[in-house]
Structure 1
Amino acid sequence: MTRSRRLLVLALAVLLLGGLGTTLVLRSAARAGQTREGDPAVAEGRVTLGRPAGLAFLNAAPGPHRGALVSVPARTPQAERTASALTCRRFHAAAGTGVCLNSTPGALAQDNQALIVDSELHTVHAFPLAGTPSRARVSPSGHFAAWTVFVSGESYGAAFFSTRTAIVDTRTWALEPDLEKFSVLRDGRPYTSSDVNVWGVTFAEDDDTFYATLGTAGQTYLVKGSIARRSLTTLAPNVECPSLSPDGTRVVYKKRVARGASLWREHVMDLRTLREQPLAEKRSVDDQAFWLDDRTVAYALPAEGSVDTTDLWTVPADGTGAPRLLTPSASSPTHLG
């Protein structure tokens, strides 16, 4: 092939790829501007973490408030949404303290931040994130916040992924930047390995105990952690993204039900007996579920026909009943008040 012909082929390839890229961008923009049937109205207003009997979550409905933290009355979750100016990829709050994992599309990992916000959603401290936001939790007292990011890979179903999980004391701003540095007891014996990953923290009420996932050697475990002792102790295998019940006796979590595939089913485990109960939701849930109360859990599932929007669903925590839609185009639910 002559040099001129090679240049012509190269030019045509560039034009084709450029056209394809433009088409994908335009299609994505068109999808983002489409209102899904059943999406509630969204209006800008004042959102406060102290709102009595309120429910907050991240709005995924198309429009200018996409990604914003919004609030609704807890009893009418599909009511019109009040949108704040705070936008996040993940959010959680308790006792007037919130953690917002912020990520700018296309930005470097160093531009991602964990924002600690007060009850009026004002940022009181910011921490750089080492990767892509994944999980976020605040302790019941509001004294601790935790977050998990992906530092390689993009999902827990990927063949290779690495996470980093941090815990911060919101009173002193003392930071534990990497829970992988905590000591580990596996099956009652000290354990060390270069492939340890920790993710999905959930806090108990004592401002010391937490639960999380530990992954190593192709297996995942529910671990019980101590902030003061900087320790992790394995409790049970095949547990991911636990969430502690309000009464502190159970965790809801996703359990891998197909080896080598990204297929999980929600279960609830009694922490006293380690007995587990599969829930009525049989679709694969890749989320850290949230307890609406001691009887009901909520979780995000991909919206039908969408690759970047989730709906919030609920299911009874005792294995009975059936899944029901809580509210469409939403994620990261949390209580207000």
Structure 2
Amino acid sequence: MNTRARILLAGAVALLLAAVAVGYVTLAADRTAATGRPAGAAPLSLGADGSRLLLVGDRRLSSTALADPNGPRQVGELECVRSYAAGGTVVCAHPDSQWSYRILVLDRDLTERKSIPIPGLPSRARVSPDGRMVAWTTFVGGDSYSGGGFATRTGIYDTATGELTSSLEDFAVTRDGAAYRSADVNYWGVTFGADDNRFYATLSTGGKRYLVEGDLAARTVRTVKENVECPSLSPDGTRLAFKQAVDGDPGKGWRLSVLDLASLQVTATAETASVDDQAAWLDDRTLAYTVRDSGGNPEVRSTAADGSGTPALLVAGAESPAVLHPSGL
């Protein structure tokens, strides 16, 4: 091969390599835009390799090792604004567009089992311990729990029967031992008991917020205690973590606290930052929850349920924590 031919061949090879490189970069960029993670990033693991923490970060479902929560994070393709998981079921509040959302009910492989269009802006999502029941809350008027003038819608879906309760607002209410009806009743923040029938939630009416205990089969709720919002039942079923309005005024923020269900005694946790979240239990002694800075950026912290110790940062830039166990989420 003469010198001219070698030069032409070298030039052609260089152009081919450049085209391949450009194509690879373009493909990687497209993949990042489509999936929300860089090309080559680890796929999302839901506990097969040890206990993990399910999270939402930058609107993507993700997980991290519970033993090293601020370590490497696995980022999935699914876009969610809220999520939770238990008993082999994952719930994701998925945006269809800027103002349209749906609840996706997924299995442990993130395969879709049910899709439910919902009104308004999702704010809470929960799954019962065995994975059967799924609940969610949306704002359908207003956008904050901190003042009046907002309305919520709370729904429940039974994965075993397919029964959908679109709203709790037609449940019969007993307040302070007497039947009660009012057009201003709102519910939010459901948490389920182990039997998939008993649940707890917040009921708002007449400017007051109550913890209610509900019976799904009977379609009833009864008030238990005032100033208890976004309850979260402990794994042993004896306590509720919740946010308590400071001085009874949500405008002053919320203190993360724990209610003993037998005595109705309240214990404030060591977390003094305002916690506008439905906390999750990492175990029977420890809570995980989201705190936001002045710019609205989230981080997941943990603190002891008995009020001892000091709050600790678990994961920066994330929210909606839920523990995933290898034995079944």
Q: Which 5+ residue runs of structure 2 have no aligned equivalent?
A: 1-37
2:302 is paired with a residue of what secondary structure? strand
User: Quick check: 2:46–2:54 contact (8 Å CA) kept in 1?
Assistant: no
User: In 2, distance between residues paired with 1:220 and 1:149?
Assistant: 17
Match of 2:16 in 1: none
Q: Given the two structures, how large is their TM-score scaled by the length of structure 2?
A: 0.84
Q: Compute the displacement of 1:59 (Å).
A: 4.1
Residue pairs, 1:1-337, within 5 angstroms: 44-60=41-57, 66-104=58-96, 106-107=98-99, 111-258=100-247, 259=249, 261-303=251-293, 307-337=295-325
Cα distance in 2 for residues equivalent to 1:58 and 1:42 = 20
Q: Which moved more, 1:247-256 or 1:41-50?
A: 41-50
Residue type matched to 1:278 in 2? A
Deviations 1:315-337 (A, max 9, x none): 11001111111110110111213
- Partners of 1:132 and 1:242 lie apart in 2 by 20
Write the deviation string for residues 278-314 of structure 1: whole angstroms up to 9, x where unpaired. Answer: 11111111000111111110111114xx634200011
Q: Counterpart of 2:251 in 1: which secondary structure?
A: coil
Seen in structure 2, the aligned counterparts of structure 1 residues 52 and 185 have a Cα distance that, compared at 3 Å, is farther
Tell me if the contact between 1:68 and 1:84 (Cα under 8 Å) persists in the aligned partners.
Answer: yes
Give the whole-Å Cα distance in 1 for the aligned partners of 2:128 and 2:43: 24
- Size of the aligned set, in residue pairs, is 287
- CA distance in 1 between counterparts of 2:56 and 2:218 reads 38
Moved more, 209-218 or 70-79: 70-79
- The secondary structure found in structure 2 opposite 1:154 is coil
- Structure 1 residue 217: Cα displacement: 0.3
Aligned to 1:10: none
> Is the CA contact 2:56–2:81 (under 8 Å) kept in the aligned structure 1?
no
Rounded to whole Å, the distance in 1 between the matches of 2:114 and 2:106 is: 7
- Measure, in 2, the Cα distance between the counterparts of 1:141 and 1:242: 18
Q: Which amino acid aligns with 1:325?
A: L
The structure with the largest alpha-carbon Rg is 2
1:275 maps to a residue whose letter is Q
CA distance in 2, matches of 1:81, 1:282: 28
**Given residue 81 of structure 1, which amino acid in structure 2 is its aligned partner?**
R
Describe the SS at the equivalent of 1:179. coil
Residues 282 and 189 (structure 1), Cα distance of their counterparts in 2 relative to 1, 3 Å cut: same
| Cα deviation code 1:15-35 (max 9, x no counterpart) | xxxxxxxxxxxxxxxxxxxxx
Q: Deviation of residue 122 (structure 1)?
A: 1.4
Distance in 2 (alpha carbons) for counterparts of 1:188 and 1:42: 59
SS at match of 1:293: coil
Paired residue secondary structure (2:263): coil
Q: Which string of whole-angstrom CA distances, capped at 9 and with x for unpartnered residues, describes residues 181-206 of structure 1?
A: 11111111111000000100001111
Deviations 1:148-168 (A, max 9, x none): 000000010133100000000
Using the alignment, how far apart are the partners of 1:299 and 1:260 within structure 2?
Answer: 18
| Cα distance in 1 between the residues matched to 2:190 and 2:262 | 19
Give the distance between the partners of 1:42 and 1:315, measured in 2 at CA.
35
What's the offset of the Cα at 1:171?
1.6
Q: 3-state DSSP class of the match of 2:196?
A: coil
**Counterparts of 1:302 and 1:42, CA distance in 2:** 29
Aligned counterpart, 1:26: none
Report the Cα offset of residue 68 of structure 1.
1.3
CA distance in 2, matches of 1:212, 1:165: 10
Cα distance in 1 between the residues matched to 2:180 and 2:122: 28
SS of 1:266's equivalent in the other structure is strand
Q: Indicate the RMSD between aligned Cα atoms, in angstroms.
A: 1.7
Paired with 2:289 and 2:88, the residues of 1 have a C-alpha distance of 22
